[in-house]
Amino acid sequence: MIEFFKTIIYEPLYNLLMVIIELIPGGDVGVAVVVITLLVRFLLFPLSKKSIITQRRIKEHQDELNQLKEQYKDDQHQMAQKMMEFYREKEIKPFSSFLLILIQIPIIISLFFIFRETNLPEIQYDLLYDFIQEPSQTSMIFLGLVDISARSMGLAILAGAASFIHMQLSMPTPKKVENPGFKDDFARSMNMQMKYVFPIIIAGVAYSLSAVVALYLLTSNLFTLGQEIFVKRRLKDADSKSSNSKS
């Protein structure tokens, strides 16, 4: 399993990093990480778009989902079955967001181990493919400001802040109910934790691992923010055109 991970993800990512470092003036490794992050997010754009559309459709049908939950609250198995049928009927893919995160985990782990195990800026020739040229120069100081081979509190805080802004924009606040039950309180509590606690966890993980992980998370979150604004605006324009054509 480890050899498979090394062959399929770790070594290709290391060689891609070497190629990008060579192309960047000054061999700024931090900029190379930003470029890799953007490449990954562009490749995952179709899946990210599905995730955004899923969030939008769930929000649109939230009242119907709440009715289903209330109707089958005494039979959890039937509730799950009815909800899956509802998702299929409305073409909602509830696990798209989870899959998006799952795909990125091996990439983040690989970047972490590349910077921890390969002693950059030294070149590990046993990992370098024969057709890949060794970078003529490498700099571990991102934009001349941050040493990404060490921890960075500044990048970690920025990664957490970007995650916080994303959560505020993407997660709707649960509607208040007159006599909230346990499920209502639990849903509100989970919403608050995702909005306020999760960004703190992101910042903590980003700082505890390395600046390169913080830089990946920061770039990824900023890309996601821009992507959500872009996709939601396109969807809004499409809805507007559709309503105008009907009228």
Looking at residue 238, what is its pLDDT?
A: 67
Percent of the chain with pLDDT over 90: 14
The model's pTM is 0.77
Looking at residue 243, what is its pLDDT?
A: 61
List helix spans (H) across 24-75: 29-43, 45-60, 62-71
Query: What is the H or E stretch that residue 4 is in?
Result: helix 2-5
Looking at residue 175, what is its pLDDT?
A: 56
For residue 144, pLDDT over 60 is answered with yes
Please, are residues 36 and 16 in contact by the beta-carbon 8 Å criterion?
yes
Percent of the chain with pLDDT over 70: 84
SS3 for 216?
Answer: helix
pLDDT in tens, 169-188: 776 655 555 555 555 555 56
Per-residue pLDDT, averaged over 76-87, amounts to: 78
**In the 8-state DSSP scheme, what is residue 139?**
B
Residue 19 binned pLDDT confidence (cut-offs 50, 70, 90): very high
Q: In angstroms, rounded to a whole number, what is the distance separating the alpha carbons of residues 180 and 39?
A: 45
**In the 8-state DSSP scheme, what is residue 141?**
E
For residue 2, pLDDT over 80 is answered with no
Q: Which pairing describes strands 146-147 and 141-142: parallel, antiparallel, or unpaired?
A: antiparallel
For residue 35, pLDDT over 90 is answered with yes
